[in-house]
Amino acid sequence: MIVYGSIFSPYCARVALAARHKGIKHTFAPPVGGGYKSPEFLKMNPLGKVPTMKDGKTVVFESAVIVDYIEAKSKKKSLYPKNAKDAASARMIGAVAGDYVHNTVSKLFAQMGPDRDQKAVEAVAAELAKYLDIAEKVIAAKPYAAGAKFTIADVFALPSLAFMELFVPLFGIVNPIGGRKKLARYMAKAKKDKLMGGVLKDMEDGFRAWQKSRGL
Amino acid sequence: MGLILYGRILSPFLARCVIAANAKGVAVDVQVPKGGIKTPEFLKLNPLGLMPVLKDGRTVLYESAAIVAYLDAKSRKNPLRPKTPKAVVQAGLPAAVTDNYVQGPAADLFRLKRGTAKNPVDPKAAGAALMKGLDVLEQTLAKGKYAGGAKISVADCYIPPALVFATHTAAIFALGDIFAGRPKLAKYWKGIQKDKAVKPVVDAMNAMMADALAGRLPPLY
């Protein structure tokens, strides 16, 4: 399985977490055709986005769909709790700590240039604090996001929280998790977890290389 | 006690849950929360202050994807998530494309017209994004009656509410016929509106959309 993209993108890290958990061999690769907007790449994914996955003749894009594809590929080590309520809760936790957090953090990409709007950065910081408060409420951190087992909640939550911790300090937002105890415990445990810690390390390495290449 | 969905059918996120419930043969009662979705009482149910919220006895859930998955597990009728990798993608892709690239720009245009946009909306950019999203949706649709092929799936919960928004906003902002040059989408829209699970939802949304655009329906937020 080839995954086009870089692992420090939270969307790509979701795929890495799911595939490593399920024991599915995969390699990350730069885009075919030399770029994500090249005709070759756009033929695979008309949106020109990462991650895009190729498994034999099957091409899949959108991280959530790739994760579902990986889940369906083998029945072992399901990402979903068996009980319907627990499975729905895991999705919910993943949405809050994953999507809402990252959608907010990614607004900072518009503030990377020299003409940074400090007011806009502060607005993002305030919005992020609001979503982190809600994530703190819903995350189980026992030690995984939805409870005692690694689930779809971790696949969504961990990459967003990890990217946030790497990215927002560049904008003067220091220690975004702050005194939120469950989130802090979750991240501390994740670093020691073989699967999650491995992905965190790879995300950080990828991020630092990107940061250096951009002179940030 | 039956299932309650808090919110209003005009919310595409709530509408997709109602289509799912209809397909599953699960009865849900849609209730408009008193005072809207930003009251302390509602924020207790969903701290995000968004609709829909599902209440099933003591179980409270928010986020439409979680609610649809929960409803899917409630009955054996019409499984909405296929099992094989190929079928998972065929249903999941048009659903994700709708969620991430069609619903957003259509809703932006709707809020712009209604005067409820929180952030500035550039109608040209939103219109172009909507057309691009519809192009990708056209490419990902299956050829069968349903978006994922021969059977109803999660994609058929997501797409029709987004198309209600897309058809109304395209007319208002003179974006042209959204089905022109998109034959699969045109055929899909014609067929899916006759589906038992979808029709009542699309009809109710269309009626409410007219009220909202005429200023007769104050927002819940």
pLDDT band, residue A58 (cuts 50/70/90): very high
Burial A17-54 (b: 16+ CB within 10 A, else e): bbbbbbeeebebeebbeeebeeeebeebbbbebbbbbb
List CB contacts (< 8 A) between A100 and chain B: 48
User: Which tens digit of pLDDT belongs to each residue from A136-174?
Assistant: 999 999 999 999 999 999 999 999 999 999 999 999 999
Q: Do A68 and B139 touch (CB under 8 A)?
A: no
Q: Is B66 on the interface with A (CB under 8 A)?
A: yes
Rounded distance between C-alpha atoms, residue A124 and residue A165, angstroms: 14
Token code pair at residue A208: 């630092």
Rounded distance between C-alpha atoms, residue A177 and residue A162, angstroms: 11
Q: What is the mean pLDDT of residues B29-47?
A: 97
Order of strands across the sheet that contains A27-29: A27-29, A2-4, A52-55, A58-61
Judge whether A165 and A177 are in contact, CB under 8 Å.
yes
The CATH topology of domain A84-213 is Glutathione S-transferase Yfyf (Class Pi); Chain A, domain 2 (1.20.1050)
Q: Does the pLDDT of residue B39 top 70, yes or no?
A: yes
Judge whether A176 and A133 are in contact, CB under 8 Å.
no
Q: Do A92 and B74 touch (CB under 8 A)?
A: no
pLDDT of A118: 96
Q: Is B21 on the interface with A (CB under 8 A)?
A: no
Q: Does the pLDDT of residue B119 top 90, yes or no?
A: no
Nearest CA in chain B to A83: B73
| Percent of all residues in chain A with a pLDDT value above 90, rounded to a whole number | 97
Q: What is the mean pLDDT of residues B173-199?
A: 97
Residue B70 distance to chain A (closest CA, Å): 6
Q: Is B121 on the interface with A (CB under 8 A)?
A: no
pLDDT of B1: 65
pLDDT band, residue B221 (cuts 50/70/90): confident
ipTM of the complex: 0.95
Rounded distance between C-alpha atoms, residue B91 and residue B163, angstroms: 17
DSSP A79: S
pLDDT of B170: 97
pLDDT of B83: 92
With H, G, I as helix, E, B as strand and everything else as coil, classify residue A59: strand
Rounded distance between C-alpha atoms, residue A156 and residue B37, angstroms: 26
Residue B85 distance to chain A (closest CA, Å): 5
In whole numbers, what is the pLDDT of chain B averaged over residues? Answer: 96
Confirm whether A2-73 and A84-213 share one CATH topology. Answer: no
Nearest CA in chain A to B94: A65
pLDDT band, residue A215 (cuts 50/70/90): confident
pLDDT of A190: 98
Q: Minimal CA–CA distance to A9: which of A120, A105, A131, A93? A: A105
CA distances to B61, B99, B101, B194 from B162, in Å: 22, 8, 10, 16
Token code pair at residue A142: 């026992």
CB burial class (10 A; 0-12, 13-18, 19+) of residue B216? exposed
Rounded distance between C-alpha atoms, residue A47 and residue A191, angstroms: 33
Confirm whether B3-74 and B85-213 share one CATH topology. Answer: no
Q: Do A92 and B86 touch (CB under 8 A)?
A: no
User: Which tens digit of pLDDT belongs to each residue from B191-203?
Assistant: 999 999 999 999 9
The CATH topology of domain A2-73 is Glutaredoxin (3.40.30)
- List CB contacts of A166: < 8 A, sequence separation 6 or more: A8, A203, A204, A207
Judge whether B200 and B28 are in contact, CB under 8 Å.
no
Judge whether B126 and A102 are in contact, CB under 8 Å.
no
Q: Which CATH architecture has domain B3-74?
A: 3-Layer(aba) Sandwich (3.40)
Q: Is B97 on the interface with A (CB under 8 A)?
A: yes
User: Which tens digit of pLDDT belongs to each residue from B69-88?
Assistant: 999 999 999 999 999 999 99
Return the higher-pLDDT residue of A114 and A142.
A142
Rounded distance between C-alpha atoms, residue B209 and residue B221, angstroms: 16
Rounded distance between C-alpha atoms, residue B55 and residue B1, angstroms: 10
B85-213 belongs to CATH 1.20.1050.10:
yes
Cis peptide before A176 (omega within 30 of 0): no
Rounded distance between C-alpha atoms, residue A170 and residue A174, angstroms: 9
Rounded distance between C-alpha atoms, residue B121 and residue B116, angstroms: 11
Q: Does the pLDDT of residue A37 top 70, yes or no?
A: yes
With H, G, I as helix, E, B as strand and everything else as coil, classify residue A192: helix
Rounded distance between C-alpha atoms, residue A91 and residue A89, angstroms: 5
> What DSSP line would sit under A24-53, residue for residue?
---EEEPPGGGSTTSHHHHHH-TT--S-EE
Per-domain boundaries in chain B: 3-74, 85-213
Sign of CA dihedral A81, A83, A89, A95: positive
Per-domain boundaries in chain A: 2-73, 84-213
Q: Does the pLDDT of residue A14 top 80, yes or no?
A: yes
Q: Does the pLDDT of residue B23 top 90, yes or no?
A: yes
Q: Is B196 on the interface with A (CB under 8 A)?
A: no
Token code pair at residue B83: 């099992």
With H, G, I as helix, E, B as strand and everything else as coil, classify residue A15: helix
